[in-house]
Structure 1
């Protein structure tokens, strides 16, 4: 009798454990589906269109390139690391059957490189239908770019600011065309310190710097839309989601505990690069989106920006200061 009771108790425990495991798996599946967010279900083709994607040798940039190549676009991977970019291009060609995927060198931490890329592009390409400002660095130490800019603002904002302005003539001649800038939900809480953009007077904070650069992306996209109104060129910015990419590699050294947490199974709940690319693709191809130029998107839907991201006066002052820093005499 005692043996039977023990067996029954053991069986009941196994049933409870099984039920808990099943419930946990179900909740994980639901949470993963929710975290994955929106999917771009638009089937628009991009045959005959030319797309430039910065920082596209890995992560969401690479997956954005794969999606647009599958739609028939000529995709230009604008990257600093040419070896990895060539590997990514070959993988995209192989997986999509589109051989019109090319690599060009672009180092956003060098204004010379940005100018050289733009010159070569304008001299050799007939059109530019979509420019996707995707490249970025996240919470790195206080490094300086070739031109003496703090790296996060220099790469995430100033490099793209110069690149976009230099390519505007081709965007206008190819209109209707689009500029898509990858920002982040981290722009909430960000502040633009026009009197100390590079943390020369303040103590450097990797997170504060990152937030400032992502807010700069939002304000840039907004001001670009205002300046290009009526030209046929639209401007959008977006939050891709929390992605399993190499972007957060500096977080591990900056906050060790956070680095440990990011190594736990919670990583399974982050978006894949393919899922994270969906809003970039949406902003690049969705018909009728021109009316929402200047807006901010996430999960393939328009979302609200922070109060700081709606400040038109700061957007204009940041534009003017950015033009001065990159020595751009004529802007759009």
Structure 2
């Protein structure tokens, strides 16, 4: 296949933006899956200024809304017959309890359920490509807490627990993809880019609180450009990072509950049932 296609969620800011800019010359077409179409249009123009031959397609996709995810996937399926690399990058943090349109805790919906459904819908296109690569941007926050029922709408909300479990879910997704499809050529990597200074979470607190919290934390963060390097390395070196967990570019083993096969199986099965899917 002559046309190489990259699809990425959350490309308009932070890690996603830096990743797209760095990889723009390595693919002939880029699909920008995002909520903010104004930012996406500006990014498209910026990419085309650097590479006039690049094909850039904007796909509206709100990962917290399953209908939006299905619509976005359908749009892609009708326009493209393959995707060489899918990067599940988008994510969010909420400091107070919010529910998605579909009634799920918002972080679990945005960080896990939406990407799971999108991956399921686009997987045939990925498997129809020469490259066959999926990058899941996870987080070291998976270490905060093990998975626990009820998975998708917890009775008690805690931002650290909620975020940690949503990211543990993404780690389980990457492991499941590797286990089920690596023998068929799929190269999957779960990436923790480090503590990256981005806008994630800043829109979910008041400006005063946000300025205090992020002002204290910013010295501990790396820049979005630095954080994107772990994602870029995983894309560029599938023979090194395929089937592993990358922590800031270093291949490391995951903690005990991050490799709990029994819980992963229970969680994935519950996800399939919730989304009315037969298999990933």
Same fold by TM (over 0.5)? Answer: yes
What displacement does 1:94 show? 2.1
Picking from 46, 51, 69, the partner of 1:114 is: 69
CA–CA distance in 1 between the matches of 2:228 and 2:43? 15
Equivalent runs, 1:302-313 vs 2, <5 Å: 302-313=251-262
Structure 1 residue runs without a partner (length 5+):
1-46
Picking from 103, 108, 118, the partner of 1:148 is: 103
Matched, 1:331 2:279: yes
CA–CA distance in 2 between the matches of 1:307 and 1:72? 37
Matched, 1:262 2:211: no
Rg (Cα) greater in structure: 1
Given that residues 85 and 131 in structure 2 are in contact (C-alpha distance below 8 angstroms), is that contact kept between their aligned partners in structure 1? no
Equivalent runs, 1:1-80 vs 2, <5 Å: 48-80=3-35
Matched, 1:279 2:234: no
What displacement does 1:245 show? 1.0
CA–CA distance in 1 between the matches of 2:208 and 2:152? 23
Matched, 1:129 2:84: yes
User: Cα gap change, 1:63/1:177 in structure 2, threshold over 3 Å: closer, same or farther?
Assistant: same
Picking from 195, 198, 201, the partner of 1:245 is: 198
Task: Kindly provide the CA deviation profile for residues 227-271 of structure 1, in whole angstroms up to 9, marking residues without a partner as x.
Answer: 113111121111111122100315755994x8525325x635522
CA–CA distance in 2 between the matches of 1:74 and 1:129? 10
User: Cα gap change, 1:64/1:156 in structure 2, threshold over 3 Å: closer, same or farther?
Assistant: same
User: Cα gap change, 1:196/1:229 in structure 2, threshold over 3 Å: closer, same or farther?
Assistant: closer
| Deviating more after overlay: 104-113 vs 91-100 | 91-100
Tell me the residue number matched to 1:183.
138
Find the residue that maps to 1:76 and give its secondary structure.
Answer: strand
Equivalent runs, 1:147-226 vs 2, <5 Å: 147-200=102-155, 203-226=156-179
CA–CA distance in 1 between the matches of 2:141 and 2:227? 15
Tell me the residue number matched to 1:28.
none
